Amino acid sequence: MQIGMVGLGKMGGNMAERLRRGGHDVVGYDRDPAVSDVSGLEELVERLQAPRTVWVMVPSGDPTRATVKALGDLLSPGDILVDGGNSHYVDDQKHGAELAAKGIGFVDCGVSGGVWGLQNGYALMVGGEKADVERVMPVFETLKPEGEDGFVHAGTVGAGHFAKMVHNGIEYGMMQAFAEGWELLEASDIVTDVAGSFKSWRQGTVIRSWLLDLMVRALDEDPSLSELEGYAQDSGEGRWAVQAAVEHAVPLPVITAALYARFASRQDDSPAMKVVAALRNQFGGHAVTSKAGAAEKGADSPGADVTPPVETAG
């Protein structure tokens, strides 16, 4: 099958390579001319035979919106556009309606697999009209892992990225659980082989998983993780999952806490904890730490002499 691929970065480039290895005719475009087959989107569309299929694999948000709009002006009725990035499902619904008005099909595809996808295949969560999805199935079959699993036509337009959003929210929670378990093991004075403990869980336990395998791999490379900063970004899906949970009145305590933990990781000096420290000092005279790093005496400090405020009626 012939397909145009827009965006040949870490994910898009490997996906294009997997498709080529599977016998597909891939015409790729990227802003980097060193990896691009064409000079621009217009030439990409001209190189493809109608009815065309174009897969967009660029960063979510404005880059994807701009690319979809540009392709919507270049493609013809009967063509199909696939958004394989990490777009918000709300954007999918808008894009689907706008392209449908022009007779262009739209399929949203949540993709999981990261840098290992070229070798192992990509898990694909797809949303769109049945006829559009069936036309792109040869591509999906090549990209997915071998076997029955690894692909789902989750529902209508937006369903693919909604499913991927929930998938990533679960991923947030699982990663946070592994992280907290590691920190507790490290803090213990009786566990002397933390990395070995994680390795032991890879067989015969209910938490064995690819994510655990990756954790063991990271500890093999850096047993104390001393080469890393405790700073974690988020790519958006966790926020959208929490927002969707509020809209649907679904409790998401684990995923929400994992998202907030990432926010906290980016603070060198927590503004909220400054307030907590100030209030503890005010009502209880508890010790606080100054900017200079020295602990100032409070009611719970040795030798402290703090007189509580006189209570008056009012």
Catalytic positions: 164, 171
Q: Which residues pair with 288 in a beta bridge?
A: 296
What is the H or E stretch that residue 108 is in?
strand 105-112
Separation of alpha carbons 97 and 111, rounded Å: 22
Contact 145, 22 (CB under 8 A): no
3-state secondary structure of 63: helix
Q: Give the C-alpha separation, 312 to 188, whole Å.
A: 48
Residue 161 class from Cβ within 10 Å (0-12 exposed, 13-18 middle, 19+ buried)? buried
Rounded CA-CA distance 6/41 in Å is 8
